């Protein structure tokens, strides 16, 4: 790809920060926008033009998108199941970000636009059992997504589709399945299961505790994708001629109990599980089906869950114990 001027919305977030780093290494001019103050960005790059402003506002979207070639919209109000179950209205408001960024893309003649959707768009009736078959892209309809966050993502997918049809804006849409890795949230309430469990097991080991809290019975299943696989799939889809909505996720489905066992092996510890049945659980089972993305753009994950958890565990351990890390886990693709 020739060097471009690229806007990353949500650049202060987990995936956004990794994407900025990756594109800078390729030599692109990157503009970064996020509503968080700079001190709260996961990664901050002085060489970028950085904006801390609210992208729900149309004028701000016009400002940051002026003169850019490409837009990656990673911006939304989200977190793990505990957050999205208790903040449905806040999650729904993110629809304003995508809507106003699409409007600004037309106004500023942006060449291509990426929207980061989620596996939370999938019909809930197809996710009532553990270890289900991977969800195909067609399984989003008839619509019955995760309340709040899932509805916002599904509506925003439709907005991208109709802006393509009505205004000839090239759009690309990916449905992410549980992205994790170093330099992400691991405490505070917005963290997802891999980081939360790494933190709990690390703290148990440091403090010589014998048990950890587990939400539900631990038999709920998910698939989890390491950040490096996510970046490769995202950029490959963005640069392709494929305008279909595609899964970007892993097909390696595990229960929460199984993931705990993997992390315990990494940590060299065995713990009792204190199951909490009053916590938000989400669907019973969810995993990605990658048949369509393999066919359309020849992408699939390469990093196993165990390998990704080893890297994530070490980074979180260093953070908790005050050790130093230098973003050494993400490859320079």
- Cα 203 to chain centroid, rounded: 25
Active site residue 113: no
The rounded distance, in Å, linking the Cα atoms of 291 and 123 is 19
The rounded distance, in Å, linking the Cα atoms of 30 and 23 is 7
Residues near 232 by beta carbon (within 8 Å), at least 6 away in sequence: 299, 302, 333
The rounded distance, in Å, linking the Cα atoms of 176 and 170 is 20
Reference 119, options 163, 81, 160; nearest CA is: 81
Any idea what DSSP says for residue 134?
Answer: P
Q: How many C-alpha atoms does 302 have within 13 Å on its Cβ side?
A: 10
Q: Which of 72, 113, 122, 149 is catalytic?
A: 149
The rounded distance, in Å, linking the Cα atoms of 74 and 79 is 13
Q: Which residues are catalytic?
A: 149
């Amino acid at each position: 790809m020739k060097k471009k001027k690229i806007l990353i919305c949500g650049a202060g977030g987990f995936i956004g920060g990794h994407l900025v780093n990756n594109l800078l290494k390729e030599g692109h001019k990157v503009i970064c926008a996020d509503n968080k103050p700079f001190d709260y960005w996961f990664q901050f790059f002085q060489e970028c033009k950085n904006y801390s402003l609210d992208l729900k506002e149309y004028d701000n979207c016009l400002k940051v998108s002026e003169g850019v070639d490409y837009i990656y919209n990673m911006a939304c109000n989200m977190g793990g199941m505990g957050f999205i179950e208790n903040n449905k209205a806040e999650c729904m408001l993110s629809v304003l970000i995508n809507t106003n960024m699409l409007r600004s893309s037309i106004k500023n003649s942006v060449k291509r636009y990426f929207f980061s959707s989620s596996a939370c768009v999938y019909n809930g009736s197809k996710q009532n059992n553990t270890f289900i078959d991977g969800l195909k892209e067609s399984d989003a309809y008839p619509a019955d997504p995760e309340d709040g966050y899932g509805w916002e993502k599904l509506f925003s997918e439709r907005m991208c589709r109709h802006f393509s049809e009505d205004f000839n804006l090239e759009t690309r849409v990916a449905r992410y399945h549980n992205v994790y890795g170093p330099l992400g949230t691991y405490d505070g309430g917005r963290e997802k299961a891999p980081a939360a469990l790494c933190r709990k097991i690390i703290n148990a080991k440091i403090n010589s505790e014998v048990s950890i809290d587990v939400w539900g019975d631990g038999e709920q299943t998910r698939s989890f994708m390491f950040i490096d696989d996510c970046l490769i799939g995202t950029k490959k889809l963005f640069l392709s001629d494929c305008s279909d909505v595609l899964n970007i996720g892993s097909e390696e489905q595990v229960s929460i109990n199984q993931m705990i066992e993997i992390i315990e092996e990494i940590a060299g510890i065995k713990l009792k599980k204190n199951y909490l049945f009053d916590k938000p659980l989400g669907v019973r089972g969810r995993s990605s089906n990658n048949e369509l993305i393999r066919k359309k753009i020849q992408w699939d994950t390469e990093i196993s869950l165990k390998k990704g958890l080893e890297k994530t565990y070490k980074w979180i351990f260093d953070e908790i114990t005050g050790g130093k890390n230098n973003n050494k886990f993400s490859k320079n693709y």
